[in-house]
Chains A and B, each alone.
Chain A
Amino acid sequence: MKKILVFIALLGIFSCQNNKSKEPIAENNIVEKQPYALEVHNFDGIQPYLTSSDDKTYVVNFWATWCAPCVKELPYFEQLGTNFKDKNVEVILISLDFPNQYESKLIPFIEKNQLQSKVVALNDPDSNSWIPKVSDTWTGALPATLIFNAKDRKFFEKSFDYSELESELQHFIN
């Protein structure tokens, strides 16, 4: 019984955290749909997401809706976020979609795929100024992923499948 309660409580937490933009479940469907509030930053605004300030392990993926390998691996990041939520892991998806496609592509993509991870848009066209701040080794190709916590930090300029991603994460949480 206890277990079921915990499960329901967790479900509640998950749905509150992640589905801000979605309609609350209402039987008569009279609740109006809230517009999705996309968080957009320049690199200075993104930096807090790349810096460890607590005991969590963060998996930060740089992607865009037009980047086919990014879209292909996105479900693995989602899955990772769900599977490791209880292990103090947070997945953050930093979109490099162009600003003129936030409304037409990015937000519809987030809503259609019901992305559970936090999505933040990075709009800072002078990428030469900030790519090295993410990692010295990043040549600038997408997709790219950063895994870090207070102790360690590793950068990947490559595509992942789920098992690879999980095994990289395991190094950080074990």
Chain B
Amino acid sequence: MKTMKLLFAFVAILTLSAFTSVTTEPGYSVGDMATDFKLENIDGRMISLSDYSNAKGFIVVFTCNTCPYAVAYEDRINDLNKKYAQKGYPVIAIMPNNTDIKPGDNLEAMKVRAQEKGFTFPYLIDKNQEIFPQYGATKTPHVYVLQKTNKGNQVKYIGAIDDNYQDASAVNTKYVENAVDALLQGKDIKEPHTKAIGCSIKI
């Protein structure tokens, strides 16, 4: 009987913790090694980080067509790639949404948007929605700056692109640029983790 009671208490605690576990943040922290992937690009090719033998690292951006915050950042994401791909940090964009819920984010729509905006970076679809949970992305846009090391691609920065989604000309701090610049110069990243409003990833 006592064991029964204990068991009962255990189950009760488990159940309670399941409901109160709103604080857990799964996914990567700065310093973790990021998984590679093989995801379909808008041009039909399968893309992996390991394809980029000359890269020093990556600016991985979870983004989409349909979120106004993501749209507000399209040109800035393009600019990041133009500036940093040649320096060894290309942008890799990944669309994480369930396209049954957001048809405006399906591969066809992604192709159209990429063409309209002249994306210079791969725009991949996380079709099975397996990659974004490993990274811990919760919203679009959500950026992970990775640095290539002997052990793999290490997470160096997580968060926002800059501090003003509304107006690129009113930005005071360019978080991602500062992070990549620091990596290129072998310095510490001052703000390795920032937060920004975004659209929840649709699952």
A residues within 8 Å of B by Cβ? 64, 66-69, 96, 98-99, 125-129, 131-132, 136-143, 154-159
CB within 8 Å for A131 and B196 given contacts A126-B163, A140-B138? yes
B134: Cβ under 8 A from any A Cβ: no
The 27 sampled A-B contact pairs (Cβ below 8 Å) are A66-B68, A68-B101, A68-B202, A69-B202, A125-B163, A125-B164, A125-B166, A126-B172, A127-B195, A127-B197, A128-B194, A136-B23, A139-B25, A139-B142, A139-B195, A140-B195, A140-B196, A140-B198, A141-B139, A141-B198, A142-B139, A142-B197, A142-B200, A155-B22, A157-B22, A157-B200, A158-B22
B144: Cβ under 8 A from any A Cβ: no
A21 to B38, CA, bound (A): 53
Assess the B166–A154 pair: CB atoms within 8 A.
no
- Size of B's binding interface in residues, CB under 8 A: 29
A149 to B23, CA, bound (A): 19
What is the count of residue pairs linking A and B with beta-carbon distances less than 8 angstroms?
79
Closest-CB distance, B19 to chain A (whole angstroms):
9
A109 to B172, CA, bound (A): 33
B residues within 8 Å of A by Cβ? 22-23, 25, 67-68, 101-102, 138-139, 142, 159-160, 163-167, 170, 172, 175, 194-202
- For the complex, would chain B's binding face be called helix, strand, loop or mixed by DSSP majority? loop
What residues on B are CB-neighbors of A67 within 8 Å?
199-200
CB within 8 Å for A142 and B198 given contacts A137-B22, A157-B22, A157-B138? yes
A96 to B165, CA, bound (A): 12
A128 to B163, CA, bound (A): 7
What residues on B are CB-neighbors of A137 within 8 Å?
22-23, 25
Closest-CB distance, A165 to chain B (whole angstroms):
13
Assess the B22–A156 pair: CB atoms within 8 A.
yes
A139's partner among B102, B139, B163, B172 (CB-CB below 8 A) is B139
CB within 8 Å for A128 and B159 given contacts A138-B195, A140-B198, A158-B22? yes
